[in-house]
Amino acid sequence: MKCFSIDLDGTLLNSEHDITEASLQTIHELLEDGHEVILNTGRAYGDVIKIKALENLQIPIFCVNGAVLFSQTRELLYEATISQEMYREIFPILKGLGVGILVYTNYGGFPSTLPPLHKKSKEELNILFEDFNYDEILEKDQLKIYKLIALTHHDELEKVEEVKMALEGKFDISMASSFPNNVEITSNEAHKGKALLRYQKMLNLDFEEIIAFGDGGNDLAQFEAATTSVAMANAPLHVQQKADIITKSNDEDGFAYAVRHLLNNEK
């Protein structure tokens, strides 16, 4: 059994945030052939299951960069959280750097999750972050914090490095960028690669190969665990340089193209 671990945004999803028929067909064929297909995304669970094409797919979903793992029947298998104490230390550092802050929790994302923000203007984003009362998050009962996202504007990308430098080595966290203008901060146990190995162990599976598909900095973690890593043509150069194979872009059915290429080479 091979394991195909697939990122969503910029990889399986095209620029319209849709999954094409070719990609869906490829997933169905892999499942029919007895392989494991896993969605391995930085998205929150709620933002994954909103995608219509995924409604009838019974496959595992790893969310929030490996912080939350769901089985193919949507059973919660594992959670890695950021403690409230650590949150209280990290939050003012981010606030002081003047970045937007998203907080992913078991109650959803505050003031939002990332996908709904992609088309908002700089002014709209500034108002969203300035007006939101972050103190209300910590008042929630049985709160679990899965991830913080430090979000910068595209004309302030230098802040991405400032965030990484401010947090590096001070906390037991993982940091990765799903897009060039963000830093995603999770527990050190939340990691797309560790999630694959954890799942394999929890379900006592033996993957003959792990083939990972991605386009973002947060996919380097799953490339580490993979026997074969596949970067999309739309991935930044530093991600492509870490991959074994570079396929076509997410707007050219790069996932389906790479799977055909890999499986045909075995025949």
- The Cβ of residue 183 has, within 10 Å, a number of other Cβ atoms equal to 26
Contact between 213 and 226 under an 8 Å Cβ cutoff? The reply is no
Distance (Å, whole) CA 131 – CA 45 = 26
User: How far does the chain reach from its first CA to its final CA, in angstroms?
Assistant: 16
Distance (Å, whole) CA 214 – CA 219 = 5
| pLDDT number for residue 267 | 55
pLDDT digits (tens, 9 = 90+) for 233-262: 999 999 999 999 999 999 999 999 999 999
Please give the model's pTM, rounded to 2 decimal places.
Answer: 0.92
Q: In which residue ranges of the chain is pLDDT below 70?
A: 266-267
| pLDDT number for residue 264 | 84
C-alpha of 123 from chain center: 26
By CB atoms closer than 10 A (0-12, 13-18, 19+), residue 61 is buried
DSSP calls for the chain: -EEEEE-IIIIIS-TTS---HHHHHHHHHHHHTT-EEEEE-SS-HHHHTT-GGGTT----EEEGGGTEEE-TT--EEEE--B-HHHHHHHHHHHHHTT-EEEEEETTEEES--SGGGTT--HHHHHHHHHH--GGGGGGSTT--EEEEEEE--TT-THHHHHHHHHHTTTSSEEEE-SSTTEEEEEETT--HHHHHHHHHHHTT---SEEEEEE-SGGGHHHHHH-SEEEE-TTS-HHHHTT-SEE---TTTTHHHHHHHHHHHTT-
| pLDDT number for residue 13 | 97
Q: CB neighbours of 180 closer than 8 A, spacing ≥ 6?
A: 154, 157, 160, 236
| pLDDT number for residue 56 | 84
The DSSP bridge partners found for residue 176 are 184
